[in-house]
Amino acid sequence: MMMKWRGWALATGVLATSALAQAAPPSAAMLSNACAGCHGTNGGSAGPSMPSLASQSKEAIVEAMKKFKSGERPATVMSRLAKGYSDAEITAMAEFFSKQKLHATSQTLDKAKIAKGASLQDSNCGRCHIEDGKEGKDDTPVMASQWLPYLQMQMAEYQSGKRKMPEKMAEKVKPLSGDDLEALLHFYASVK
């Protein structure tokens, strides 16, 4: 029964034809789903050091990927993986993730720090991290609901000089204390 069918299929080449069926180029979803093994389904991360991509700004993702590719932004696996994609594919993935619902993380945050951060954010960061960090001007990344440990790791890289701050950001960050910055990160992580 089973062997007969198989023999017939091999003889007539039915399987061979289906194997060579025409395929469309990888869709945005096809490209992006592969990222979810680290960044979570639809880019909603469950791992505290891994950024959520869901609802991230398209421009910010494109910018980050370009810098990973060129080596301008320090990274581990991303500087290698980014090299696997064309600019068009990167744009498609960025658009895919930008359209996903904001991933609300449930993490333990400090209420006093959130309040302090809230008071600092508007005048210091609000011009670019607009809408309480739910949106970003141009290629400014969305900060809302991001994992605190991820934000802290990135801030540490900025401060060590490994990751280069945009000029406008450097100006704003300079006068802020370590506590101020920590409070701001708690605030952004808390925005839902």
Partner 1 sequence: MTLDRRSFLKLVGAGAGAVGLPLIGQAAELMPKSGKRVVVVGGGYGGTIAAKYVRMMDKSIEVVLIERNDHFVSCPFSNLYLGGLLPDLNTLTIKYDKLAANHGVKVVQAEVTGIDPAAKVVTTSKGTLSYDRLVLSPGIDFRLDEMKGYDDAAMEVMPHAWKAGPQTVLLRKQLEAMKPGGNVVISIPLAPFRCPPGPYERASMVAMYLKQHKPGSKVIVLDANPDIVSKKGLFLKGWKKHYDAIIDYRPAKKVTEVDTGKMAVMIEGLEEVQGAVINVIPPQKAGHIAHAAGLVGADKKWCPVNPTTFESTLHKDIHVIGDSSIAGAMPKSGYSANSEAKVCATNIVALMNGKEVTEMSAINTCYSFLSAKEAVSVTGVYKVNAEKQAIEGVAGSVAVSPDLSEVEAIYAESWLRNILTEMST
Alpha-carbon span 170 to 165, nearest angstrom: 6
Q: Which of 59, 66, 85, 164 binds partner 1 (CB under 8 A)?
A: 85
Question: Taking Cα atoms as reference points, which of 162, 191, 183 lies closest to residue 55?
Answer: 191
Residues 5-34 that bind partner 1 (CB under 8 A): 5-6, 9, 14-15, 18-27, 29-31, 33-34
Query: In a 3-state reduction of DSSP, which class is residue 52?
Result: coil
Range 121-180, binding partner 1 (CB under 8 A): 153
Helix axes 148-160, 178-190, angle to 10 degrees: 150
Q: Using CA atoms, how far apart are residues 53 and 7, in angstroms rounded to an integer?
A: 48
**How many Cα atoms occupy the beta-carbon half-sphere of 183 within 13 Å?**
20
Applying CB under 8 A, the site for partner 1 has a residue count of 47
In the complex, least distance from residue 17 CB atom to partner 1, rounded to whole angstroms: 11
Q: Does 46 bind partner 1 (CB under 8 A)?
A: yes
Whole-number minimum distance, CB 53 to partner 1, in Å? 11
| Angstrom distances, CA of residue 174 to CA of 152, 158, 159 | 17, 11, 10
Q: Which stretch binds partner 1 (CB under 8 A): 36-44, 60-68, 121-129, 178-186?
A: 36-44
Query: Per-residue contact track with partner 1, 54 to 83, x per CB under 8 A?
Result: ----------------------xx--xxxx
* Contacting residues toward partner 1, per CB under 8 A: 1-6, 9, 14-15, 18-27, 29-31, 33-41, 45-50, 76-77, 80-85, 89, 153
